[in-house]
């Protein structure tokens, strides 16, 4: 009974803290609030003081008595792999392509979650200079649909729906390439910096709360 009472007290402390986690900084001698937590990782309560650390999304909370709160580990990544040999990867991660030459990439999007999440939808939009092959090169599960903005210079939006009760690993591979503009010229037709992509956005629901995560932008320099 004593152990059960302590567990109840621990969860009341979690509620009182609003799930805020802290880490001791020996350089300043202060407890620092850990910002930017997502709902994933794991939390462990044990020991006699409150502290914490982050290691690949795994959080440990130290309190009196031992109790473990498991939250699923989660990963969402997107990379672009050049296919044609005229694409150069610069040291800062940007791509460089020649003016008015066909260029092609594989866009690889991966998601993994150890515990189920719901309403899982990933959207990725590509600029008018780029074409996206329909159907995709590969999709491990779920459905993939394509939509286009109005007008001649169309943006392409790819929607990957994984639905409810998703767990495990899933992967989508897209073929993305520079296309011909409405005048029949090979993109890119002007020098400058362009978005290969502004980032894929993942929306999902966990425990009644809706979350959104967006990957980083990808840039192309045309010379």
For residues 86-105, average pLDDT: 96
From the list 76, 37, 33, 31, the residue with the least C-alpha distance to 58 is: 37
Q: How far is CA 65 from the centre of its chain?
A: 35
Assess whether 177 and 194 both reside in one domain: yes
104 with 214, same domain: the answer is: yes
Tally the domains of the chain.
Answer: 2
- Same domain flag for 141 and 164: yes
* In a shared domain, residues 144 and 118: yes
**Claim to verify: residue 178 and residue 150 sit in the same structural domain:** yes
Closest by CA to 93, choosing from 165, 206, 193, is: 193
The most confident of the ranges 9-13, 52-56, 111-115, 134-138 is: 134-138
Q: Burial of 103 by CB count in 10 Å (0-12 exposed, 13-18 middle, 19+ buried)?
A: buried
Same domain, 82 and 122: yes
Q: Is 122 helix (H, G, I), strand (E, B) or coil?
A: strand
In this predicted model, what pLDDT tens digit does every residue of 120-130 receive, in sequence order?
999 999 999 99
Q: Does one domain contain both 79 and 33?
A: no
Q: Is 174 exposed, middle or buried (0-12, 13-18, 19+ CB in 10 A)?
A: buried
Where would I find the H helices in 77-221? none
Range of the domain at 134: 74-222
| 57 and 80 assigned to the same domain | no
Q: Please tell me whether residues 93 and 179 are part of one structural domain.
A: yes
List pLDDT tens digits, range 41-67.
Answer: 333 333 333 333 333 333 333 333 333
Residues 7 and 50 placed together within one structural domain of the fold:
yes
Pair 67, 100 in one domain: no
Among 42, 71, 100, where does a domain finish? 71
């Amino acid at each position: 009974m004593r152990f059960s009472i302590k567990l109840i007290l621990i969860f009341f402390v979690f509620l009182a803290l609003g799930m805020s986690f802290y880490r001791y900084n020996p350089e300043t001698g202060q407890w620092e609030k850990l910002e930017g937590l997502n709902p994933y990782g794991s939390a462990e309560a044990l020991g006699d003081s409150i502290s914490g650390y982050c290691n690949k999304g795994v959080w440990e909370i130290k309190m009196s008595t031992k109790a473990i709160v498991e939250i699923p580990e989660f990963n969402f990544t997107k990379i672009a792999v050049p296919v044609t040999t005229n694409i150069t990867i610069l040291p800062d991660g940007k791509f460089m392509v020649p003016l008015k030459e066909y260029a092609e990439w594989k866009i690889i999007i991966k998601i993994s979650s150890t515990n189920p999440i719901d309403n899982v939808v990933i959207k990725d939009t590509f600029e008018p200079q780029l074409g996206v092959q329909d159907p995709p090169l590969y999709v491990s599960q779920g459905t993939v649909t394509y939509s286009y903005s109005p007008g001649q210079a169309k943006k392409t939006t790819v929607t990957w729906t994984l639905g409810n009760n998703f767990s495990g690993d899933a992967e989508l591979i897209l073929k993305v390439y520079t296309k011909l503009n409405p005048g029949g010229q090979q993109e890119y037709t002007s020098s400058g910096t362009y978005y290969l992509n502004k980032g894929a956005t993942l929306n999902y629901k966990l425990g009644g709360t809706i979350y959104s995560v967006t990957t980083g932008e990808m840039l192309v320099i045309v010379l």
